[in-house]
Amino acid sequence: MPIYVFKNPKTGKIFEEIRPFSKMNDPFYDEDGTKCDRVEVPGGSVVIDNNAEVFEKDNDYVKKCKPKYVKFRDGHKERYDPTRHC
């Protein structure tokens, strides 16, 4: 069964729910009773930014990993500094 994504229009909170295809258009209600809108997620397509360094694409993930070094597109490495590289 596919996963459908819903967004609360008041709070902006995102919900994911596994449903069968037959119920994909059924409404989803938050805990507080708010009807959430279904968000269309493009399947399998990814936007690639070739002008960004690897560590710039997902700053939060890089900060969680706490790498010792970061590698640039031209191949050189630098010691990781969270204030400079994110």
Residue 48 is predicted with a pLDDT of: 61
Enter the pTM of the model.
0.47
Lowest mean pLDDT among 6-10, 31-35, 81-85: 81-85
**Residues 6 or more apart from 2 whose CB is under 8 A from it?**
18, 19, 21, 24
* For residue 1, pLDDT beyond 70: yes
User: Which of 25, 27, 20 shows the shortest CA–CA distance to 3?
Assistant: 20
Residue 70 is predicted with a pLDDT of: 87
Give the model confidence (pLDDT) of 15-42 as tens digits: 899 999 899 889 999 988 999 988 887 6
* For residue 74, pLDDT beyond 80: yes
* For residue 85, pLDDT beyond 80: no
CA distances from 48 to 5, 22, 71 (A): 22, 33, 18
Query: In sequence order, what are the beta bridge partners of 7?
Result: 14, 37
**Residues 6 or more apart from 17 whose CB is under 8 A from it?**
3, 4, 6, 28
Q: pLDDT: is 10 or 86 the higher one?
A: 10
